[in-house]
Structure 1
Amino acid sequence: MHHLDQAGQALAPPGPTAEAGHHSRPEHAAEAREAVRVFLDGLSPAVAARTAQHLLLLVSELVSNALRHAGAVSGLRLRATPGALTVEVRDPSPEHPTPRTPRLDGTTGGFGWPMIREIAQSLTVRTEPDGGKTVTAVLAR
C-alpha cells in the first residue's frame, strides 16, 4: 500500500534500529549508494538480494531527485527494524515531489517518482520547520 502523507505520520513500529549513512551533503548518488552498501553489510540478519536492490534504487532516486530539484541533500538516514528498512532524505526545498509524464524523447526526467512510489511500501513527505522537506520511504524487510 502506498501512502503519501504531508503530515509525516510514524512509519515503522518502535524497535531496535541500526543506523548508518549520515551524509550532511552527498555530492552525488554514488556516494549515497556506497552508504547503503555499508549499511546493508552491517545488518544481521542480512536482507534478501531483491530488498537490497530496491533499497539501493530508492536511495539513488531520492538523492538524485533532491540534487536535481532542490540543489542539495541536507541529510540521509537509513534505519532498520525487524520488519522494515527506512530511508529518509532531507533537502532544503519546501516543494513536494509531483508526478509528471516521463520524457520519451531521449532526455531525462519523469521516471523516478513513479518508480519510488511503486517500490516503497510506504512513502511520506514532511515539510520541516526550517523550510526544507524530508522524504521518507519504507521497505518491508
Structure 2
Amino acid sequence: MPGTPRRTPGLRCEDARLIARDVLSTHHVGTPLADDVLLVVSELVSNAIRHAGGVTDFRVWCLPGSVAVEVSDGSTLRPSPPGTPVESPGGFGWLLVNRIADRTEIRSDHAGKTITAFLSLTPED
C-alpha cells in the first residue's frame, strides 16, 4: 500500500482538502480531476465527521492512471443510499461520491471502516 496513513484525530474538511491539493499539485494533476478529487475528499470527510465520530486515518495518493482517496472512521455502519426510507435524511453525498469516482471500496473490521474512492486520470488531466 503506497504512502503512510495520516493519523488525523480532529481532521476538518478544509485540512483534508489542503493535504489533497498538496498531493495533486506534486503529481501535476489537472483542474477537472483535481476538482473532482476535492469534492470526494469533502464528502467522505464530512460524512465521517457527521455520521461516524470523525476521521481516524486519511490518505490521498496517485497511482498510474488514477488518484485514490481513503478515509477511515470508527463506525462499522456502511453508507446508505439517499432516501431509504423516505423519512431518513442524507445519503446524497455517498451517491455523489459514487457518481464521481470510477470505483469505491469499503473495508470493515472491529475498529471501524475504510472507504477508498478511485478516480481515473484522463488524457487531458
How many pairs are equivalent? Answer: 117
Aligned residues with identical type, % of pairs: 38
Q: Which 4+ runs in 1 deviate beyond 6 A?
A: none
* Distance (Å, rounded) in 2 between the aligned partners of 1:64 and 1:137: 15
- Counterpart-to-counterpart distance in 2, 1:25 and 1:52: 25
- The DSSP-based 3-state class of the residue aligned with 2:6 is coil
Deviations 1:32-83 (A, max 9, x none): 011111111211xx12211000000001100000000001100001111121
State the SS of the aligned residue for 2:55: coil
User: Cα distance, 1:27 vs. partner?
Assistant: 3.2
Aligned-residue offset at 1:23: 4.4
Give secondary structure in 2 for the equivalent of 1:47: coil
Tell me, yes or no, if structure 1 residue 72 matches structure 2 residue 54: yes
Distance 1:33 1:111 in 2: 20
TM-score with structure 2 setting the length: 0.84
Aligned partner of 1:4 in structure 2 is none
Separation of aligned partners in 2, 1:126 and 1:91? 11
Cα separation, 1, equivalents of 2:48 and 2:38: 15
TM-score by length of 1: 0.75
Counterpart of 1:122 in structure 2 is 103
**Residues 61 and 67 in structure 2, CA contact (< 8 A), matched pair in contact too:** yes
SS at match of 1:55: helix
Q: CA 1:58–1:48 in structure 2 vs 1: closer, same or farther (change >3 Å)?
A: same
Aligned 8 A contact 1:20 1:78 in 2: no
Any gaps of 5 or more consecutive residues in structure 2? none
Question: 1:134 aligned to 104, 109, 114, which one?
Answer: 114
1:57/1:26 CA distance change after superposition, 3 Å? farther
| 1:22 maps onto 2:6 in alignment | yes
Aligned 8 A contact 1:20 1:39 in 2:
no
